[in-house]
Amino acid sequence: MSKPKHLKRKRHRALPFLIVAVLLTSALYASAHCIFRAPDAPPRQDDSVHTDLSHSQSSQKSETQQEAERAEAAARAHRQRKADCYTILVSGLDDDHGGADTNMLVTVNAGEGFVHAVSIPRDTKCIYGGKSHKINAAYNSGGMERLSAVISDQLGIPIDYTITLDLKGFVALVDAIHGVDFEIPVNMNYDDPTQNLSIHFKKGMHHLNGSDAIKVVRFRHNNDGTGYGSEDIGRMQTQQNFLKAVAKKMLSVSTIPNVPELAKVFKTYVKADGLTTGNLVWLCTEMISMGPENISFSTLPGDWKSPFIYLDKDAVLELVNTYLNPYEEDRVPEDLNIPS
């Protein structure tokens, strides 16, 4: 499968191993009680999301226009899907704010033998309820159902399943492997009394336990406004680098005795909507068989213009068709609903 040069996969080889390691611990925990099988892609009408979110504008359209749009949506809903190709929205929940601060859309294309995960910046502009919002706010107003609907509407593809990870689970995971050595990229000095949050670390190498680690990956800027200089983008890079360190530690021989504790963390803090443990193990097995060279990551392309990140429509469409689209037929510009 040929990929455009500017969309070559950015391989963070440790990251998929982190996902695999956690799924494997779940498999060990429940392997005696479940059936390993591929998920059944839900027969969802993805374009109905677009119709629902745009309902407030329908009164301004003629009956003929509305009828034509409904016919087109019905036609799209019956497009043929690729074999063994699934889209999964993975979200990290921020308990203090009650929102989904970290979101990643993962396409597992077992039929063609690759996995791609795209990070969705929290400040990405979206529109619902007739108003502009940052995309992570969609969770606050309607949970994973609203968040997945908004992302599906923008990217023009269905989201088959959702997985949520409690931030308490992140803390428990790091503690279960007895902490991680990590190079903090910048001095961090931030306080938020409303969240009872204080982040104070010097730049350099530290051994982080779970409670320290969650502070480091949540950090965006200092009290005086300094820090990464790119806030959310800088934070996502730190998160990726930290996950590499966690994955390296999890895959070490010293972690083997901790497998039961890791399985307990998965069972307690991870919620997979619509996916059985057997489905998760099947997906995990497929990822292992693909090899790390076929698992890649990227970030939705866009530009920061305060207070939002505005997505690049052409670049997003190309990324969708190259990596994310579960349909045999390519998406076209009209399928996407990216606000200007």
What are 122-178's pLDDT values in tens digits? Answer: 899 999 989 999 998 999 889 999 999 999 999 999 999 998 887 788 899 899 889
Q: What is the pLDDT of residue 144?
A: 93
Number of Cβ within a 10 Å radius of residue 29: 18
H or E element in which residue 205 lies: strand 204-208
* Residue 250, pLDDT above cutoff 60: yes
Q: 134 burial class (0-12, 13-18, 19+ CB within 10 angstroms)? A: middle
What are 23-57's pLDDT values in tens digits? Answer: 555 555 555 445 566 787 665 444 444 444 544 44
The answer for residues whose C-beta is within 8 angstroms of residue 37's C-beta and 6 or more apart is 276, 278, 279, 282
Of residues 59 and 181, more confidence is placed in 181
pTM equals 0.76
What secondary structure does DSSP assign to 13-47, as a single string? Answer: THHHHHHHHHHHHHHHHHTTT----PPPPP---HH
316 phi, psi to nearest 5 deg = -65, -45
| CA atoms lying within 13 Å on the CB side of residue 59 | 1
The answer for residues whose C-beta is within 8 angstroms of residue 225's C-beta and 6 or more apart is none
| Greatest extent of the chain over all pairs of C-alpha atoms, in Å | 66
Percent of the chain with pLDDT over 90: 42
